[in-house]
């Protein structure tokens, strides 16, 4: 599901004065297509030192409070979400970093993953969320690649691959295989770390990569051998070099153009996209 409006994460950026206290500032984080009546927030996790108050129609804002100091005994309003016509602004209040520094660090993790629901004056609603984190990956056949992109604090992301007439798709939200006449694309998501492993294979390329690795090992071994043992390793190297040439020729002759690889996304339970990977192949 695509968001109705984009959450402008830069609006959360804060600046410090010479005393390293947070300076008062206001910046837009979302712009709706028409006037906004009310707002609500969906947090990625329950914060320890921050509390989002209920929306107040009288002030047209949601205030955010923080605790700090010894045993979290002090409380202050660190910021607020405020409606101004069709715009939702984020306001930083003056904050003492010595007292509320831990709460500010928590906000760095919390705010970029927040989803804001906007109820418009015409009765319709939309939501704003951070733009998806995008990474581009260029694959070599039979050479694994990994993308540490699926880790969003407080949100469990599942693997989603766009439909494609040129790829047959099978698998689950963590393991997926895409088949085409030009090769097989394997996607494996490690949920605890958020790392997506990607491997593009075909039989000849897989064998070619293995032969090249063995050739490198033998060349390294050659420098450590003397006498008859060195002659034996040199003979093995000659055979492997020929094997690599034969496999490369076979790969060049049999390879068919790879169709465009579908868009790969990391989505939450509501189908909202928080990560996107665009993959091409050499």
The pLDDT value recorded for residue 4 is 59
Whole-Å CA distances, 53 to 41, 75, 154, 256? 10, 13, 20, 59
d(C-alpha 113, C-alpha 176), whole Å: 26
Regarding pTM above 0.75, the answer is no
Is residue 21 within 8 Å of residue 40, measured between CB atoms? Answer: no
* Mean of the per-residue pLDDT values of the chain: 88
Confidence of residue 256 (pLDDT cuts 50, 70, 90): low
- Four-residue CA torsion sign, 51, 54, 55, 56: negative
Q: pLDDT tens digit string along 19-54?
A: 778 999 999 999 999 999 999 999 999 999 999 999
d(C-alpha 218, C-alpha 244), whole Å: 13
Is residue 155 within 8 Å of residue 270, measured between CB atoms? Answer: no
* Residues 6 or more apart in contact with residue 207 via CB below 8 angstroms: 247
- Four-residue CA torsion sign, 131, 269, 145, 259: negative
Q: What are phi and psi of 240, to 5 degrees?
A: -70, -35
Q: What are phi and psi of 234, to 5 degrees?
A: -60, -40
The string over 62-100, giving b where at least 16 C-beta atoms fall within 10 Å of a residue's C-beta and e elsewhere, is bbbbbbbeeeeeeebebbbbbbeebebbbbbbebbbebb
Weakest mean pLDDT among 51-60, 61-70, 192-201: 192-201
The pLDDT value recorded for residue 151 is 85
Given its phi and psi angles, is residue 32 left (phi above 0), alpha (psi -120 to 50 degrees) or beta? beta
* Residues 6 or more apart in contact with residue 197 via CB below 8 angstroms: 144, 145, 146, 186, 187, 188, 189, 190
């Amino acid at each position: 599901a695509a968001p109705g409006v984009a959450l402008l994460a830069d609006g959360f950026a804060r600046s410090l004065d010479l005393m390293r206290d947070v300076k008062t500032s206001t910046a837009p984080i979302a712009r709706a297509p028409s006037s906004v009546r009310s707002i609500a927030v969906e947090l990625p996790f329950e914060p320890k030192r921050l509390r989002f108050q209920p929306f107040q129609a009288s002030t047209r804002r949601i205030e955010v409070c923080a605790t700090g100091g010894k045993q979290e005994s002090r409380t202050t309003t660190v910021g607020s979400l405020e409606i101004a016509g069709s715009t939702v602004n984020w306001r930083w209040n003056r904050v003492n970093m010595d007292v509320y520094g831990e709460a500010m660090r928590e906000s760095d993790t919390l705010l970029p993953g927040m989803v804001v629901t906007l109820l418009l004056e015409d009765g319709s609603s939309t939501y704003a969320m951070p733009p998806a984190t995008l990474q581009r990956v260029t694959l070599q056949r039979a050479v694994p690649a990994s993308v540490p992109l699926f880790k969003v604090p407080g949100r469990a992301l599942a693997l989603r691959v766009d439909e494609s007439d040129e790829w047959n798709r099978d698998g689950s939200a963590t393991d997926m295989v895409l088949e085409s006449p030009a090769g097989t694309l394997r996607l494996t998501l490690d949920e605890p770390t958020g790392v997506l492993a990607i491997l593009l294979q075909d039989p000849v390329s897989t064998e070619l990569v293995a032969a090249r690795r063995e050739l490198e090992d033998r060349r390294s071994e050659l420098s450590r051998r003397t006498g008859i043992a060195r002659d034996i390793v040199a003979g093995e190297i000659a055979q492997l070099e020929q094997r690599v040439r034969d496999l490369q020729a076979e790969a060049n002759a049999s390879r068919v153009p790879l169709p465009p690889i579908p868009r790969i996304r990391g989505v939450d339970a509501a189908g909202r996209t928080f990560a996107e990977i665009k993959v091409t192949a050499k």
